[in-house]
Amino acid sequence: MSKPESVRESVIEPDLPIIDPHHHLWDLRALVGAFPEPLHPFIETVGLSAHYTFDQFLADIGSGHRIIGTVFMECGAFYDASRGEALKVVGEVEFVRGVAAQGASGLYGASRPCAGIVGHADLRLGAKAGEVLDAQAEAGGARFKGIRHAGAWDADPSVLGPAFHHPEGLYRDAAFREGFAELGKRGLTFDAWVLEPQLGDVIDLARAFPDQPIVLDHCGTPLGTASYAGKLDEHFGRWRASIRELAECENVVVKLGGLAMSFCGMPPEGPTESVPSEELARMWRPYVETCIEAFGTDRAMFESNYPVDKWAGSYATLWNALKRLASGASQDEKHALFAGTAARVYDLEHLLELT
């Protein structure tokens, strides 16, 4: 069977300023080789290019949309083994700060990639997690904004696969919450990644720490794969009720994106560049519109989640789809969704001066 033709679209609203608040950089070639052979097809099918670093990302953000700056999101890359188990995560922040310095030089255009850095710390260390946070703050400087400790879990191990599986009930764990409290002492953000059935864990965490800024990644990750295949409509009401309840927590904001992950099944097959942005927008609209209605534009931000969302197509096509979803918004609302909310949450207001 021949490969579907790639979509080549004109960029919609090319002058609209965007802060992309969620992307990754990595070189996982050595790690992929360390995985057992049966896992290699899985790693490929979830859209994970084993190598995605500055040059590739620079080409993507230069593909037509006006990306004025970005926020790097932790992904377990470039850890520094010489620092020991707890502190090896600092290596990722050090690496990304170097990328940010490259971008800030102006040699690569007006965009400021990795202007914000979200690292990782194992909050199950309890109060000792503070030492890791301090080391990351020293390594990242003003660009270091917070951490993500993902909690995605499902009883069906085939939903996530071993590469993405986290402990059940992580956000309710006492040791985790002791470490979580260290974020507030330092004015740091927390990104939460869970799956739709786990949204109650985020709600409980947000209520327990009402002054801690929490960013819900990927619209709460509705599921349409493995044992959830074909059940997006069946579970939509449950997902919507959880989103509305979470939105009542004023310390929580939501990222609008990540719906192209293979876990969501929108589109059901990939990686592909054959699905036009109109079709992507149609699939994602019920989720994005529900989130915006619940949180408001001042507590919502569009994200690329690249290169994971490469499952659905190119960086340019992805942002076209997101712009289609905001086509009925006012200029002020678009400003918030595409740049303003991200600038406020991650303390990147200086990027707005570039507009």
Please answer whether residues 40 and 90 qualify as being in contact, where contact means their C-beta atoms are separated by less than 8 angstroms: no
What would the two tokens of residue 234 be?
A: 């069946």
Alpha helices (H) along 209-314: 232-247, 277-295
Please name each of the domains of the chain with its CATH number. Answer: 17-349 (3.20.20.140)
Please answer whether residues 117 and 140 qualify as being in contact, where contact means their C-beta atoms are separated by less than 8 angstroms: yes
Using DSSP bridges, classify how beta strands 17-23 and 51-52 pair: parallel, antiparallel or unpaired.
unpaired
Q: How many whole angstroms separate alpha carbon 305 and alpha carbon 307?
A: 6
Rounded (5°) CA angle 271-49-164: 90
Burial class (CB in 10 A: 0-12, 13-18, 19+), 210: exposed
pTM above 0.75, yes or no: yes
What would the two tokens of residue 262 be?
A: 């293979």
Alpha helices (H) along 141-276: 174-185, 199-208, 232-247
Using DSSP bridges, classify how beta strands 189-192 and 214-216 pair: parallel, antiparallel or unpaired.
parallel
Per-residue pLDDT of the chain (355 residues; tens, 9 = 90+): 344 556 689 999 999 999 999 999 998 776 555 544 444 444 554 445 678 999 999 999 999 999 999 999 999 889 999 999 999 999 999 999 999 999 999 999 999 999 999 999 999 999 999 999 999 999 999 999 999 999 999 999 888 876 677 899 999 999 999 999 999 999 999 999 999 999 999 999 999 999 999 999 999 999 999 999 999 999 999 999 999 999 999 999 999 999 999 899 999 988 888 999 999 999 999 999 999 999 999 999 999 999 999 999 999 999 999 999 999 999 999 999 999 999 999 999 999 987 7
